[in-house]
Amino acid sequence: MSVNGETPSSTAVDNSFWAIVREAFSGSERDLTTGSIGISLFILSIPMIIEMLAESLFAIVDVFYVAHLGANAVAVVGLTESLMFVIYSAAIGLSIGASASVARRIGEKDPDGAAQATTHALYIGLAVSVIFAVAGICLASPLLKMMHAEPDVIEQGVAFTQIMLGSNFVVVFLFLINSIFRGSGDAAIAMKVVWFANLLNIVLAPLFIFGIGPFPQLGVTGAAVGTSIGRGLGVLLAAYFLFFGKRRFTMAAQHWTIDLGHLWRLVKVSAPGVLQFFVQTASWIGIVRVIAGFGTDAVAGYQIGIRMIMFGLLPSVGLANAASTLVGQNLGAGDPERAEKAVWTAVRYNAVGMSLIGLAFVILDRWIVTTFFTTETIVVGFASDSLRIIAYGFLFYAIGMVLETAFNGAGDTWTPTILNFIIFWLFEIPFAYILAYPLGFGPHGAFWGITVSFSLMAVVAFFVFRRGRWKAKTI
């Protein structure tokens, strides 16, 4: 049996279905610039999808345990997660630049260049994390006040916030090192690292929160301690694989010599990535503000619906990241046509998969909400409607997500950043507001605003991508 309808290669590489599945989970050494694009996408996307699933569990696990401590503790976690949003933006933006640079060097068969890109990405990550740590430790209380936290919430949560912001390097380096693995084609390592960190968090968080056995009872602060230790040990495991594991390049002493020109090139690629993620994610805050005018039930229903949407999109994120790696490596190999073919192949696979998931959400919207979330009639109505309406656009989301991520893989981080700003800030939020209020559609207007905007993003990204300027991008 073979993947993508292609016969197994005449080389020693085993392209049978189960061999490819094992390769996806255990790690691959194959050259991603040759051979079946379908097989390459499969090997990369499966561990990336599972990695995305694991990453999404961190905040869920903390809230689950902390919920037993009361509303103030939950508020502490929620408010701090909002502050961590800036750190996530920086970490993901740096990861985009690191992944694109490493992928390009791997495609060029330049292991020294990949090693240098890695060390300089780590330097930038260290500088950024130190700045955030100092600011977070010193300004935790004022930051919580800025978020309109009540005095008793601040008193209970300032230590939690200091630990989470002060130890932000575990977030930055977990994202950063895993992006280096993904860029080099070692997606299975990144998957294993995130699951290792997650399992530690699941075990450690309740021990420190509730003081089980010899562990101190730290309350909500214990969630920060458990999460930071879990992520920190995950970083150590990632560092072990990076420095001592079997990999596609080796870092030597000369690669740690700082090259200001190389640092600047990485910053130029990464900075728009930071802004890109910030613009896209912050637009969701604007939508929440539109919906908030219709009451708590509408906001609660929307939050349920959008969490299911985000969960449903995880496979799409994994496949899009796989396409990004193939774009970077094949551009590095001097084969832009294969890079483009990889993108359109990923688009087709993603369109089919996301359409099926979207159809399931449309048909089972109310069942999903009442089975897994709530049975409150009004909230169920808003939640099921938001889930169904937003799911109508899954076909377009699938296309747009792959195309946007492909730009990043080519090192063209400005194009998706500009598209995000235009579509989500200049169009989506005003459009959702007009539908919701002047035109009288209420919260449903905001739901339709999301669907129309993301669909429009896919259409615009399609035409911009077809112009092909990304193929000439140098990094």
Predicted model pTM: 0.87
> Does the pLDDT at position 8 exceed 70?
no
Q: Which residue has the higher pLDDT, 86 or 160?
A: 160
Pair 15, 3: CB distance under 8 Å: yes
pLDDT single digits (tens) 83-101: 888 898 899 999 999 999 9
pLDDT single digits (tens) 263-284: 999 999 999 988 998 888 788 7
The number of CA neighbours under 13 Å toward the Cβ of 95 is 24
Q: What is the pLDDT of residue 59?
A: 65
Q: What is the pLDDT of residue 245?
A: 82
Question: Mean pLDDT over residues 329-335, rounded?
Answer: 95
> Does the pLDDT at position 14 exceed 80?
no
Residue 386 Cα to chain centre, angstroms: 22
Q: What is the pLDDT of residue 12?
A: 58
3 state SS for 230-281: HHHHHHHHHHHHHHHCCCCCCCCHHHHCCCHHHHHHHHHHHHHHHHHHHHHH
Q: What is the pLDDT of residue 13?
A: 67
> Does the pLDDT at position 410 exceed 60?
yes
Pair 80, 87: CB distance under 8 Å: no
Quick one: what percent of the chain has pLDDT higher than 70?
97
Query: What count of other Cβ atoms lies within 10 Å of the Cβ of residue 145?
Result: 14
> Does the pLDDT at position 5 exceed 50?
no
Q: What is the pLDDT of residue 156?
A: 87
Domain residue ranges in the chain: 57-258, 273-475
Helix 71-107 to helix 314-332 angle (10° resolution) is: 30
> Does the pLDDT at position 249 exceed 70?
yes
Query: What count of other Cβ atoms lies within 10 Å of the Cβ of residue 74?
Result: 17
Could you please report the per-residue DSSP string of 338-380? Answer: HHHHHHHHHHHHHHHHHHHHHHHHHHHHHHHHHHHT---HHHH
Strand partners, 237: none
Q: What is the pLDDT of residue 7?
A: 37
> Does the pLDDT at position 160 exceed 70?
yes
Q: Which residue has the higher pLDDT, 132 or 246?
A: 132
Question: Mean pLDDT over residues 47-62, rounded?
Answer: 80
pLDDT single digits (tens) 365-376: 999 989 887 788
Query: What count of other Cβ atoms lies within 10 Å of the Cβ of residue 370?
Result: 15
CA–CA separation, 450 and 423 (whole Å):
10
Q: What is the largest CA-CA distance in the chain?
A: 69
Pair 99, 328: CB distance under 8 Å: yes
Could you please report the per-residue DSSP string of 276-316? Answer: HHHHHHHHHHHHHHHHHTT-HHHHHHHHHHHHHHHHHTHHH
Backbone angles phi, psi at 377, to 5 degrees: -55, -50
Q: What is the pLDDT of residue 10?
A: 39
Give burial (CB, 10 Å; 0-12/13-18/19+) of 151: exposed
**Token duo for residue 67:** 């919920």
Question: Mean pLDDT over residues 117-122, rounded?
Answer: 95
> Does the pLDDT at position 1 exceed 60?
no
**Token duo for residue 55:** 């990453």
Pair 291, 432: CB distance under 8 Å: no
Pair 402, 319: CB distance under 8 Å: yes
Q: Which of these, 54, 58, 55, lies nearest to 228 by C-alpha position? A: 58
Q: Give the confidence band of 54 by pLDDT, cuts at 50, 70, 90.
A: confident
pLDDT single digits (tens) 226-244: 999 999 999 999 999 999 8
Identify the three-state secondary structure at position 42: helix
The owner of tokens 């063209």 is: 412
| Segment among 288-302, 318-332, 401-415 with least mean pLDDT | 288-302
**Token duo for residue 103:** 């992928």
pLDDT single digits (tens) 67-85: 788 878 877 887 887 788 8
The owner of tokens 């990043």 is: 408
Q: Give the confidence band of 288 by pLDDT, cuts at 50, 70, 90.
A: confident
Quick one: what percent of the chain has pLDDT higher than 90?
64
pLDDT single digits (tens) 432-453: 999 999 999 999 999 999 999 9
